[in-house]
Amino acid sequence: MEGFKNSKPVLSQRSFWDTDLHKLDFDRYASFTIIRVLERGTDQDIDEIIRYYGADKVITAITSAKRLLPRAQLLGKPCFHLLKGSV
């Protein structure tokens, strides 16, 4: 099962209309990927980034982002039990 966790996330084109997912370095651009999925992705996309990066890394990306679209803010708070003001 370890190989499954480390396999690249399978994401929809919905969030990445302007990006070639086959060329995207998911590790180098982790914050970009996480934020883009939270802002524009499907529920399955969100599950995939949590599987791939882990909840701690997703929380770090959310709380350290300079700006987030409202959808990402709304998803981040209840999903990761973030306090008001941390997002």
Give the confidence band of 84 by pLDDT, cuts at 50, 70, 90.
Answer: low
Task: Quick: pLDDT tens for 44-83.
Answer: 999 999 999 998 899 888 888 888 777 777 676 656 655 4
The pTM of the full predicted model, rounded to 2 decimals, is: 0.78
Q: Is residue 15 part of a domain?
A: no
Q: Which residues, in sequence order, are CB contacts of 84 under 8 Å at separation 6+?
A: 77
- Confirm whether 7 is domain-assigned: no
pLDDT bucket at 34, cuts 50 / 70 / 90: very high
pLDDT over 90 for what percent of the chain? 47
Domains in the chain: how many in total? 1
Let me know if residue 11 belongs to a domain. Answer: no
Q: Is residue 2 part of a domain?
A: no
Of the chain, the end-to-end C-alpha distance in Å amounts to 33
Residue 85 lies in a domain: yes
Give a yes or no: residue 22 inside a domain: no
Q: What is the pLDDT of residue 59?
A: 86
Give the pair of three-digit tokens for residue 52: 């791939």
Q: Which domain holds residue 84?
A: 27-87
pLDDT at 75: 72
